[in-house]
């Protein structure tokens, strides 16, 4: 019996980062959907929710923290794991993300194996 592949939404303004994450996650057996802004991310999860979201803190338009608040306020998304992937490593930013409801934090630049480790840890 085939198990359903988990769907991960990758949200980042950088096409290069999205491509690297998509390739890494796809090779690990995940279905990946990409968005380049917070607004695009909300559109992508409307009607077809993600099992996990990996997003940047610094997004055009709707910020990463605002995006988290929007996602958490939607029915069925309250407990979706959200990993912030960002160049920002300040304690204040981490606290802001934690207060918004993130599940994990990765700092750019990153190694693909680190992404897979945290995805594996959080998805259990």
Domains of the chain: 7-122 (3.40.50.2300)
* pLDDT tens profile 22-60: 999 999 999 999 999 999 999 999 878 899 999 998 898
Q: Model's pTM, two decimal places?
A: 0.90
**Mean pLDDT of the residues in the chain:** 88
Residue 74 pLDDT: 86
Taking CA atoms, 8 is separated from 53, 82, 96, 99, in Å, by 6, 10, 23, 22
How many C-beta neighbours within 10 Å does residue 2 have? 4
Contact 76, 56 (CB under 8 A): no
């Amino acid at each position: 019996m085939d198990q359903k592949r988990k769907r991960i939404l990758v949200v980042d303004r950088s096409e290069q980062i999205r491509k690297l994450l998509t390739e890494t996650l796809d090779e690990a057996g995940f279905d990946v959907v990409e968005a380049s802004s917070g607004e695009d991310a909300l559109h992508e999860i409307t009607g077809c929710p993600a099992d996990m979201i990996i997003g940047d803190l610094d997004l055009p338009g709707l910020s990463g923290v605002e995006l988290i608040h929007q996602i958490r306020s939607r029915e069925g998304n309250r407990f979706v794991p959200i990993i912030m992937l960002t160049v920002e490593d300040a304690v204040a930013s981490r606290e802001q993300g934690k207060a918004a409801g993130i599940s994990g934090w990765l700092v750019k630049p990153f190694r693909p194996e680190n992404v897979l480790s945290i995805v594996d840890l959080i998805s259990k």
